[in-house]
Amino acid sequence: MSEPLPTPDTGTAPFTATSRRATAARFAMFWGAPPALWQAAFFLVPLGFLVAMTFWSVKSFRLTPDATLANWTFILNAGFFRNAYVYTFWLSALTAVIASVAAFPAAYTLAYKVSPATRRFMIFMLVVPFFTSYPVRIYSTQIFFSPQGIINTVLAPLGLGPLQVLNTPTGTVVGYLVLTLPLVVLLQTFALANVPRTLIEAAHNLGCGRFRTIGTVIIPSARIGLIVAGTFAFVLAFGDYVAPTYLGGSRPPTLSILIADQVKSGNNWPRASVVAVMMIVTLMVVMLVMIGLAYGRRKERP
Amino acid sequence: MSMAALRRLLLLAYTGVVFAFIFAPIVSTIVFSFNADRFPSLPWGGFSLQWYEAIFADATIQRGLINSLIVAGVTCVIATFLGFSAAYVDYRYRFLGKSVYLALAALPPTVPVVILGVALLTFEGRVGLSGTLPGIIVGHVVLSTPFAMALVRMRLADLDPDIERAAWNLGASPWATMFGVIVPFCAPAILAAIFLTAAVSFDEFMIAWFVSGVNETLPVRVLAMLQGQVSPRINAIGAIVFGVSITLIVLAQMLLGRMSGRAARKKG
């Protein structure tokens, strides 16, 4: 992008107000339009297409534009969909709770018990896994829990195990935690570090015990961040395909597995689209409820 | 030992356990990629490079790696340009529908990739993009642009808007101001955004899995290998993939760290 820099279009004439305004408008369009056009063309339109496709039909293996509700009635009445929906929702919610509870002491430590330099380094470390090949990490976790894997090798001499984690819902949740825990610790650490220290010190000076300070001062003050962290865990787990497939053994299937199966082998794209739209609607409702929970009740307080 | 010290020790130990859970899969992948045994278990079976030799001899893995590098290379440039543009628009302009504009730019990562994958597959099938590398790039740009936007926007927050206005008042055109003031100021964030979006693209497997067809990227190849039996070759690929993405992330973070360090010193 090496545009000729100064004096845009007027040659030798001095900057007139109109040419200046025209330049400014062209400048604004140059920077403003591409992101909007790109995300509209390759994000909004495909999603709109997905919604439209839920009303299409498959006639003799060919996708045909249509205005039928058959896909909706089929999926919403199908036992396998309802079971998968409840199962996915429940495991994702469970993951959000476990991740939030498990992360809290670690976030508390990072926020209050280590030096700023250590905290910066730990935050730096926590960002890494989020951008680091998730399927390989799940593969590695699979090896850990396999019958001849490290965990069972260590447990056997102690007279424990063998642990049956693979191909169970527990395996799926372990995988969800591999995915979500770094992010939850990170967001909770930010939330806790932003609680004013003076507030905590005031509580201590007034004789408030450690756990009471956490319960009545720190958690309420950091509530927005804590809820956001849990919501992210839910959203990530709800849409994940890898953990339920490779650690949960696909049985029972989650919604993402239903979608992948319908598209990859069943070739019924309209039905897969219905499942996808149901997932988006669910996530939107969950996010709205959580935002309400995070910000809403706060206003009632004086 | 006092109670406070004991409590601190317990908290540190617990944090260590959490970090061990997070990093054990990464560390063990790298360690076992050098293990001579077929099955990655204890005890250690001796040092070997045979799994690396095996993957470098595998044509499908080579092609996957090349595809991934092409996709990541193109994605990071487009996504960084779009992310920079969106961040600048947010910094510089106020207009009707700005919140919609920003939501459009920022929302894609909140939509599960499995859904983005299906949506792009059905859409791209209609316009003839599915099964091609540009088809994957298009989706990766959608997904990674918000990350670039966030990094540049954070940087612009430290730039006084009056500086740009002063340049205009002194007769500089908006283009001259852009390339003389804004872009140099944002350079570290732009570079960090290039690394980060490259990492996002290099590791993305779901959109690529749906859209790629026969043009598999490396993570898609890994996903296919996971469906087979346990193979130490996955550890070797994993170690390489970790190496690439961790390098990119560390570079991005170092740039950002320098940036925030300087900003803090300036304020202090």
pLDDT tens, position by position, A208-267: 888 888 888 899 889 999 999 999 999 999 999 999 999 998 889 999 999 998 888 767
- Predicted local distance difference test score (pLDDT) of residue A12: 44
Phi and psi, residue A63, nearest 5°: -75, 125
Query: Which domain covers residue B156, as residue numbers?
Result: 59-267
Q: Is the pLDDT of residue A9 over 50?
A: no
Question: How confident is the model at residue B112, as a pLDDT?
Answer: 93
Asked if B41's CB is within 8 angstroms of A140's CB, the reply is no
- Establish if A269 touches chain B: CB-CB under 8 angstroms: yes
Mean pLDDT of the A97-108 span: 96
* Nearest residue to B102 (alpha-carbon basis) of B78, B116, B80, B86: B86
Task: Tell me the average pLDDT across B48-55.
Answer: 87
B:81-100 residues touching chain A, CB 8 A cutoff: 81-83, 85-86, 88-89, 93
Please tell me if residue B12 touches chain A, with a CB cutoff of 8 Å.
yes
CA torsion A248-A254-A256-A258 (nearest 10°) is 110
% of chain B at pLDDT higher than 90:
54
Q: Which two tokens stand for residue A130?
A: 């989020």
As given in the structure block, the two tokens for residue B247 are 């390098």
Of the given ranges (A10-14, A54-58, A100-104), which has the lowest mean pLDDT? Answer: A10-14
The answer to whether the beta carbons of residues A272 and A52 sit under 8 Å apart is: no
Task: Please report which confidence band the pLDDT of residue A186 belongs to, taking 50, 70 and 90 as the band edges.
Answer: very high
**Residue B126 with chain A: CB contacts under 8 Å:** 49
- The one-character DSSP state at A57 is E
On whether residue B212 sits in a domain, the answer given is yes
Between CA A164 and CA A179 the distance in angstroms is 21
**Residue B38 included in any domain:** no
Is there a domain that residue B21 lies in?
A: no
Taking CA atoms, what residue in A is nearest to B224? Answer: A135
Q: Would you call A132 and B12 a contact, using CB atoms and an 8 Å cutoff?
A: no
C-alpha–C-alpha distance, residues A106 and A119, integer Å: 11
Domain-embedded: residue B152: yes
CB A93 within 8 A of CB A286: no
User: Which CATH number goes with the domain that contains B97?
Assistant: 1.10.3720.10
Other CB atoms within a 10 A radius of the CB of residue A165 amount to 24
Residue type, B81: F
Q: Which homologous superfamily is A77-300 in?
A: MetI-like (1.10.3720.10)
* CA gap A262, A74 in Å, rounded: 14
The band of A156, judged by pLDDT with boundaries at 50, 70 and 90, is confident
Alpha helices by DSSP H, chain A: 17-39, 45-53, 70-77, 79-108, 116-130, 134-145, 150-155, 169-193, 197-205, 210-213, 219-221, 223-239, 242-246, 255-261, 269-291
Does residue A41 register a pLDDT over 90? Answer: yes
Which amino acid type is present at position A234? F
Measure the CA–CA gap between A21 and A29, rounded to whole angstroms: 12
Provide the residue type at A30 as one letter.
F
Whole-model pTM? 0.89
Q: Which helix (H) or strand (E) holds B243?
A: helix B232-267
Residue B16 lies in a domain: no
pLDDT band, very low/low/confident/very high, at A295 (cuts 50, 70, 90): confident
Kindly state whether residue B246 falls inside one of the protein's structural domains.
Answer: yes
Answer whether B185's CB lies under 8 Å from B159's CB: yes
- Name every chain B residue with its beta carbon within 8 A of the beta carbon of A211: none
- Per domain, the residue ranges of chain A are 77-300
Residues of A numbered 123-152 whose beta carbons fall under 8 angstroms of chain B's beta carbons: which are they?
Answer: 124-129, 131-141, 143-144, 146, 148-150
Whether the pLDDT of residue B207 is over 50: the answer is: yes
Dig out the tokens for A16 from the structure. Answer: 């007139």
- What is the token pair recorded at A64? 């045909």
pLDDT in tens, A188-221: 999 999 988 888 888 888 888 888 888 888 998 8
Residue type, A250: S
Per DSSP, what are the bridge partners of residue A59? A62
Round to whole Å and give the CA distance between A67 and A59: 13
**Cα separations in angstroms, A208 against A112, A201, A204, A205:** 17, 10, 5, 7
Identify the helix (H) or strand (E) that includes residue B121: helix B113-127
Give residue B231's pLDDT band: very low, low, confident or very high (50, 70, 90).
confident
Residues 77-96, chain A, touching B (beta carbon < 8 A): none
d(CA B187, CA B182): 9
Percentage, residues of chain A above pLDDT 70: 92
Tell me which of B181 and B257 has the higher pLDDT.
B181
Q: What single DSSP character describes residue B44?
A: P
Provide the sign of the torsion angle of the four alpha carbons B206, B207, B213, B217, taken in this order. Answer: negative
Round to whole Å and give the CA distance between B146 and B116.
15
Q: Structurally, how many domains does chain B consist of?
A: 1
**Residue A7 at interface with chain B, using a CB cutoff of 8 Å:** yes
Encode pLDDT of B93-145 as tens digits: 999 999 999 999 999 988 999 999 999 998 998 888 888 999 999 999 999 99
**What length is written for chain A?**
302
Look up the ipTM and state it.
0.89
Read out DSSP for B175-208?
A: HHHIIIIIHHHHHHHHHHHHHHHHHHHHH--HHH
Confidence band of B40 (pLDDT split at 50, 70, 90)? low
Tell me which chain B residues have a C-beta less than 8 angstroms from the C-beta of A35: 82-83, 85-86, 89, 104-105, 145, 149
User: What is the C-alpha end-to-end distance of chain B, expressed in Å?
Assistant: 38
The answer to whether B167 contacts chain A (CB < 8 Å) is no
